Structure 1
């Protein structure tokens, strides 16, 4: 779709940059579940031995680390809720305006890393710890293929077998089913992924794998840690 000669991605293959999440998807998806990206700690893989050009493949990364839930971070730190974790993480990467930053919370996350070597979760793309469980769950619902596309819709979407996506690092920012009934997409400044579908389908996925996260309410914003969720 084009608007004033600028390519605009279809709603079922995109995510909101700001504002209320459900309002953005209104008329397309009934529900949105926020999948929290896990923190993680090395088991056999030391990331300091890698660089951007030689980063471990997804499945090697998963084998070399174990995930740590946000609620475990609350037990290990003085942070009181997941909204504080969200603001801390966004502060650490400079993803929110200065007046909304909380350097005290960010310091607590950094000090936890120094003390325990628990690495803060990554932003911008779906966590490798969530990829395969989510793909297996979608496959269990009867889907064999997904379309993948970047957030700007600059390239044609690629139709890919879910089995291939499980074995390889090919997911993009936006990934959706051919019938447009399900989407998961990751905002570049978010340490979480939006899982969009009907409430029934999302509940089925959560029955298959209990992903840590929460359902959006009409008040939930993209920068949700700064607002009532």
Structure 2
């Protein structure tokens, strides 16, 4: 039987989501916890990869196992077993063949900025103290919705079949004591959001004009875009699936 597990994590201590040799990852820790509690080797497949130091407020993965009678009890035991920087929210029983990665239809990220040194955001946000033109940054962000090829924002030597993404939402807004960039798309390339934020910060500083975004995207050259901002400010916040994937008698 296939299950989806919904969880969140603070990424500082991990070399991203996906298993790696000689480096601790969220996937490794989660698989170890499930395998220990279920007394059988369990492999999980995540909704996507997050890079080293990136956080997830909402993440999903799937695994296969015999019917679990009390999913709420398993969630409780997992949270007692897992380290404090990983938390499980729900277990869902899925229809056969549901896939955490390939069936996701939309993903959203947030990037957090603070405008002055703040000890409470030390590991949670990027500090930018110089003046920024948020109106220009939002003009540039809107241009992302007019394009589909985002190779210029992709990490070099990335092994992907296509650089095409459907960006559906991209906006900067002020939320209390931080600035938040929210972006939603059907998929994202490696390093894409951090490179976009770095480029938009160049616009905010006046180094790049909003209209220049078109030329940067057309170049397909990572060197034409801005530098990648630190991972600590990036959060995966939402992964959306078709409702029909969830079993009506879900756990």
TM-score interval, smaller chain: under 0.3
Which of 1 and 2 has higher RCO (CA within 8 Å, sep 6+)? 1
TM-score (norm 2): 0.25
Work out which of the two has the higher radius of gyration on C-alpha atoms and give 1 or 2.
Answer: 2
Higher strand share: 2
